[in-house]
Structure 1
Amino acid sequence: MLYFDHCASTPPYDEVVQTMMEVMKSQFANPSSLHRAGTDADKLIERSRALLAEQLRTTRGNWVFTSGGTESNNLAIKGAARQYAGRGKHLITTQIEHASVYESFAQLEQEGYRVTYLPVSESGHIRLEQLEEALTDETILVSVMHTNNEIGSIQPIEEIGRLLKRYPKTLFHVDAVQSIGKLPVRIEDWGIDLLSASAHKLRGPKGVGFLYVREGVALQPMLTGGTQEFGYRAGTQNVPGIVASAKALRLSIGAMEQRERRMKQLKHKLIQHMDELPELKRNGAEPSASHILHFSYPGMKPEVIIHMLEQHGIMASTKSACSSKDDKPSRVLLAIGASRERAASGVRISFGDEHEERDIDALGAALRHVVKQLKPLERRLT
């Protein structure tokens, strides 16, 4: 089987699996304990934290370990909004954020905050002038994802950070779950105050997330109890997962430039295959991530396409994994102006380190078979 669902999760490095096993066996003590075994475990966490800072070139903030990207997003958004509610209760995000961001803002709206959801173009990008128009003296947080998890559109984070420097009371949060380890991200150079990432998206273990918190930024914690993670996130830390995640990040960053070149070649080759299939409509446009390609087959249910591809040895997905069992049209595709028919038939292909050109050729051949089989049935499966 060929696995083309790297946006949902990635196969861990062998070295990561080995590291996690070794730490689970040797460092089982609670890192908050005062005895030697506890302090040894705590030292591993702090080394991992330092490795994150080194690899991602951050010197003016701290890295908080969480349970994943969803918790990192929730803590950043709700923690900042509630902490700084005295400054104002206006928040800004976009219409195409991941559900963990989108639903966090929906919850804050129920608490009395006012949220502006910026629209995007047909290519899936916000317009800086619309962001600037939306900013007010009451705006305390702007949250914009770097790489969209469905269509791969890359937002102008550097330009947004430059704009927000004129608004010192407004914090800038970036969901970089689909970017860290895959694309260059210059956190402090881009003026980012809060940034979320997830280990299992970069060939690390599930259950570990990262949250960068710039020095001087305070967050109201969601999990209270102990003083772990600078008081932002109570609970015994997942020592094996944290150490293995730091290793995964180091390996991913080290291979990033070479991977990016390969992904561009693979994506270009897949687009060539799709150009021969006019029934398939590509969603989104450049600038976009080289490891993501999204298309629709209007009139067809995406789960039918997914299961047919699987019969040909291909594993792909419909939209984000956390929303894949929801049969509603994609909120992201509707936001870029797609019809409901097109928005209800999206399929996402996301590449990984193991893929070669022959795998893309196999995927292209499978897509041709699927289209050939479904062509007579167009519009009957909706």
Structure 2
Amino acid sequence: MFVFLLLAGCGPSPTSPPSDNPVSDASASDAAASDSYAADSHAGEDSAAVDSAPADAPPPDGSTGLPGCLGEGRPLVVSSTLPFSLASVGSAGGHFLVDFGTTRSTIDLGAFSTPPSPSGCDPTLLGQSCTFYGFDFFGSWGTVTLTTADHSGVSASVRQAGILGTDFLSVHAFTLDYAGGRIGRAAKSTFCSDAAMTAAGFVALSSAGFYATDPSTLAPLSKVVEGAAASLHVPNVPTVPLRAFGVTAFAQLDTGFDDALVKHSINVNEAFYAAVAAKSPTALVRAPEKDLWLSTCVSGVSEGVEAYTLSGGAAELIDVSGSTARAYAGAVLFVKRTPPAAKVCGGIGTWTAPAAQLAGSFFVDAKVLVFDPFGSRVWVRPGS
């Protein structure tokens, strides 16, 4: 999801707050193509089939040639670095941000010419948990709960109608094909085998304990926050190993974090910064001209983040074998020093374990990401 981001001397630019924060808007721009790739039309357990490209259809020019076992495909609009997909409530349809960085889905009733009618809430207020009947995203979900929000401040190639978070995106396997302009969905019974994924050129990043269809398998919050209550668990957000200068962090893959202003932005917490600085004092080079201000979930409270570039190293995503899957020497690290008044917002800034958040340009460069909640993994093709 988003927060406002300000660079000294510049206007607002978008990024994303931690996964468990309320929504705040920012801007996005530009759109990507929407070519299709080979896919089948199996709908999975709880939704109806929709039309898709035949399983044996050749990929069009510029597509990424993905295997049919990744499921049915639909158009994906990429605005700046943010992915949007169509969803509808009854007869009202709109573009929803596909945001693996949040656990809570939203709806902006102002985005519809004829808004859907909710129940169990006051829809004139923001932040309300409302019940909607007839929600459709790759088929019907029946009755769902969405939180009211205002996304009118998002300047994108489409009018943002809401956010799809992991309350939806952890039920099936989803593929974000940024290069091909498609989103795919597969049920557990038809999702690709490990052998099929490997044959298609992918390697797996472990998200064990952080992203799963079964929330009972999520790690206790004490894994990342020292002294956290035993009853709490980590947010259900794809979180994978990120290594820099010999220090490994828990890195959230936040598809709702638009880093169009500073490409390859990584938000890191103080624990990660301190560990890197202690191990290699010259590893991080201060870049004050890139410093930013972020809004928080607390009205009137902003959070300054300090920018650092890497000296002679790279930020590396680590696969399940311990090898480097993707490496980024040009990454810019922004150190989050969460103000006391904003601690209630949660997120990696409050974690005591080294942690990070990767922004959208990493995923655009990777071209394709496959989110597998059944095996608690994220599949990528190696590169840099």
* TM-score > 0.5 by shorter chain: no
Which structure's residues are more often helix, by fraction?
A: 1
Structure whose alpha-carbon radius of gyration is higher = 1
TM score, norm. by length of structure 1: 0.28
Which structure's residues are more often strand, by fraction?
A: 2
TM score, norm. by length of structure 2: 0.28
